[in-house]
Amino acid sequence: MAVLPILEFEEKIVETVDENPVVVIIGETGSGKSTQLSQILHRRGYTRSGMIAITQPRRVAAVSVARRVALELGVQLGEEVGYAIRFEDRTSYRTCIKLLCYGTLRYLTDGCLLRESLSNPELEQYSVIILDEAHERSLNTDILLGLMKRLVKTRSSNLKVLITSATLDGVKVSRFFSGCSILNVPGTLFPVEKLYSTERTTNYVKSSLRTALDIHVREPPGDVLIFMTGQDDIDKMVSKLEERIQNLEEGSCMDAIVLPLHGSLPPEMQVRVFSPAPPNCRRFIVATNIAETSLTVDGVVYVIDCGYVKQRQYNPSTGMYSLDIVQISRVQANQRAGRAGRTRPGKCYRLYPASVYQEEFLDATVPEIQRSSLAGSVLYLKSLDLPDIDILKFDFLDPPSRESLEDALRQLYLIDAIDENGQITHIGRTMAELPLEPSLSRTLIEANELGCLSQALTVAAILSAEITIRPTRSKAKERKRKQPFSNLPDGSGWGDHIQLLQIYESWDQADYDLNWCMDNDLQIRSMKFCKDVRKQLSQIIQKIAKGPVDVQSSLKYKKGEKDYQKLRRALCRGYGNQLAERMLHHNGYHTLGYRSQLVQVHPSSVLEADEDGQLPDYVVYHELINTSRPFMRNVCAVEMSWVLPMLKKLEKMDTNRLSGGAGVSKVCEPMKEKLMNSSTKEANDSKKPDSVDSKIRAARERYLARKAKK
Ligand code: ADP
Ligand code: MG
């Protein structure tokens, strides 16, 4: 195999890094940035004074690249080369000892590095920090860019920062770092012929399938990389393609294997895409945008680009997420095409007309920081104790909207992470150290106070492991036909969090028997992962909690309704403003607080109306998601008396003070007014801003009346 382009530039790279604290390195995907840069600097002595951190926006990439580097160096993973991702840390104790003499290469997610900077703001253990895949513009990488800018100026010991990217606008980043050097590593891409469709596709899975078969039947050998938007599409595509290939006439074309590639694939399945195709066999790799730049798959000659990507979008004025399939950007389209030209000239089949590419696609993807909830990131920034930090004025490469920063500040204030002057509280500090989103970390702290930490840990683990432990819908349906629906618990009328807890408790009662999972249509891998995450969370909370931690409770289960009440209380505190009140003459809720709107409980929820057809008066929700309509996903019934103190907090809230800067409060008044007006406009039933109190009073009366009736 030819020498990787980066290696031909070794001298130049080392020279530039020697002379400059910050260097931007731009090189084509596959040029060796992720696997070679760290090794070059290791060889050239940069690890004598500390470790090298290489951040990756994706967990899969951190693990996969670390594996690869360990293999190239001929060491065991976890020795000189380690990785760290949320809920797992492979940088072994042994590495820690070794680091003093040899230094190590540590691949970690950008989120992990951010968390490390909390306990060690100077990140002294690292001599070099490589922010890899910066073109992905992940939320955490963007925050790190801002922090690195400060750190290179302030750190007492020497620090080198490298920012690497396949496509990033180098000049912009260089300007951000006061004109730092840019190194361009020319790639060795072969020409890729781009073939456009004449019309837009109405069904990109179908069109991709047809194109894939056409290639297989007509084109010379070479692997095919197919970009889909998510796991669902991928699974569909893989099974259809396999079926169609099997139905081809025996001997009419070469053999084929079809491989999926996405973030939630088990590791042993992921590595399969790195082994070359057997002789006389074509590989079809059906991937998410993970194959655009993070993982390099060799042998690809044909690319099928549907032109779409799945993107999560947060709207700070409504607190609502949407998961949309959107058009890719031109930068992404060109990255996808480029995957076909790594080994020889290739072809890229764009399932959209050239006019769409030119006129409709954005130049570049909107950075995540401009489409995410920022509560977690703002909490980190607050807890770093940077003396002069004003959140609303923090130096971001592409600043998020003011609205979105204010939304984050309000949320943090409501759940007691910051005080009314924007100072981080004790609670906030503990929260920042937990690898969870703010609502869940606040829940754990409250649960510890209330004596239901064990239960809260379980729920937090399940929700943050980002997996579903409920039976899959199709399986559930199948079962329904054959026999009455499974015996899994139903949340006792309190909602989804309680159900998740009960399911886990049942598994605990079954001694964590894997057959029990199978009998109940629960995915074994998910259940085991939850158990693992729960264990890690309980270890972390015991380590960091300042006050006493109810260790007993975190290890041992207590059962009974009364514990559910405590847990619901803790959840209520943690979710803060993620709170909704039942509408009287409407089959739904409206959310309370500063962003009132009509919402419904998601159909997947176990929360059901009681015998009078009534839903609980108040619920907290884990997430608002806009699909066909605004839905609350994962809801939990709470009580009015727990809700009141939170609504009270809303009354005295000044976002300029929450921001923490000095002397900003006057300047921004008009903006604040505008925001208040716009958020009242959102309130569908046009309630006046001062009506929160009267609304509460009315709700209480209704509640008491109903209670008296029962
Ligand atoms: P870049 O980060 O510049 O996109 P990488 O360092 O990831 O490039 O990859 C450089 C080369 O190493 C590529 O040719 C790629 O195929 C190979 N490579 C990377 N990871 C693996 C792996 N896990 N298994 C096999 N080859 C790999
Ligand atoms: Mg890379």
Q: What is the DSSP string of 169-231?
A: -HHHHHHHTTS-EEEEE---PPPEEEEE-SS--S-HHHHHHHHHHHHHHHSPS-EEEEE-SSH
Number of domains in the chain: 4
Q: Is the same domain home to 446 and 568?
A: yes
Distance linking the first and last C-alpha atoms of the chain? 78
3 state DSSP class of 241: helix
Give the C-alpha separation, 508 to 498, whole Å: 15
> What six digits make up the tokens of 167?
């496509």
**Cα–Cα distances in Å, from 431 out to 189, 386, 436, 455, 574?**
46, 18, 8, 18, 11
- Report whether 415 contacts 442 (CB < 8 A): yes
Q: Is the same domain home to 403 and 480?
A: yes
Cβ neighbours around 248 below 10 Å, total? 13
Based on C-alpha coordinates, what's the Rg of the chain? 27
Q: Is the same domain home to 218 and 270?
A: yes
Report the run of H or E that residue 101 belongs to, with start and end: none
Q: Is the same domain home to 119 and 218?
A: no
Q: pLDDT for 224-260, tens place per residue?
A: 999 999 999 999 999 999 999 999 887 788 999 999 9
Domain-ending residue, one of 525, 540, 573: 573
Q: What is the distance in A from the centroid of ligand 1 to the CA of 306?
A: 24
Confidence of residue 683 (pLDDT cuts 50, 70, 90): very low
CATH code where residue 389 lies? 1.20.120.1080
Q: What is the distance in A from the centroid of ligand 1 to the CA of 151?
A: 30
Give the C-alpha separation, 634 to 496, whole Å: 5
Domain-ending residue, one of 317, 345, 369: 369
Q: Is the same domain home to 114 and 137?
A: yes
| pLDDT mean over 672-696 | 40
Residue having the nearest C-alpha atom to atom 13 of ligand 1:
30
Give the C-alpha separation, 380 to 121, whole Å: 11
Confidence of residue 700 (pLDDT cuts 50, 70, 90): low
Q: Is the same domain home to 562 and 625?
A: no
* Closest ligand (CA of 36): 1
Torsion (CA) 686, 687, 689, 692 in degrees, nearest 10: -150
- Report whether 508 contacts 557 (CB < 8 A): yes
Least confident of 537-541, 556-560, 673-677, 688-692: 673-677
Angle, to 10 degrees, between the axis of helix 453-464 and the axis of helix 496-509?
100
DSSP state of 286: E
pLDDT at 672: 37
Least confident of 47-61, 132-146, 301-315, 537-551: 537-551
Q: Is the same domain home to 83 and 124?
A: yes
Check if 111 has its Cβ closer than 6 Å to any atom of ligand 1. no
CATH code where residue 31 lies? 3.40.50.300
Q: What is the distance in A from the centroid of ligand 2 to the CA of 28?
A: 9
Q: pLDDT for 333-374, tens place per residue?
A: 999 999 999 889 999 999 999 999 999 999 999 999 999 999
Give the C-alpha separation, 651 to 681, whole Å: 18
Burial class of residue 705 in the structure, from the number of CB atoms within 10 Å of its CB (0-12 exposed, 13-18 middle, 19+ buried): exposed
Buried b (16+ CB within 10 A) or exposed e, 350-387: bbbbeebbeeebeeebebbbbbbbbbbbbbbbbbbeee
* Closest ligand (CA of 4): 1
Check if 4 has its Cβ closer than 6 Å to any atom of ligand 1. yes
Can you give the residue range of the structural domain that contains 315?
A: 192-369
Check if 35 has its Cβ closer than 6 Å to any atom of ligand 1. yes
Check if 274 has its Cβ closer than 6 Å to any atom of ligand 1. yes
Check if 311 has its Cβ closer than 6 Å to any atom of ligand 1. no
Give the C-alpha separation, 35 to 6, whole Å: 10
pLDDT at 555: 44
Report the run of H or E that residue 652 belongs to, with start and end: none
What is the maximal distance between C-alpha atoms in the chain?
83
Ligand 1 mutation pick, 24, 55, 68, max ligand atoms within 8 A of CB: 68
Check if 520 has its Cβ closer than 6 Å to any atom of ligand 1. no
Q: Is the same domain home to 536 and 438?
A: yes
Q: pLDDT for 264-307, tens place per residue?
A: 887 778 888 988 889 999 999 999 999 998 888 889 999 999 99
Query: Letter for the amino acid at 279?
Result: P
Domain-ending residue, one of 153, 185, 217: 185
Percent of residues, the chain, with pLDDT higher than 90: 59
pLDDT at 192: 96
pTM value is 0.85
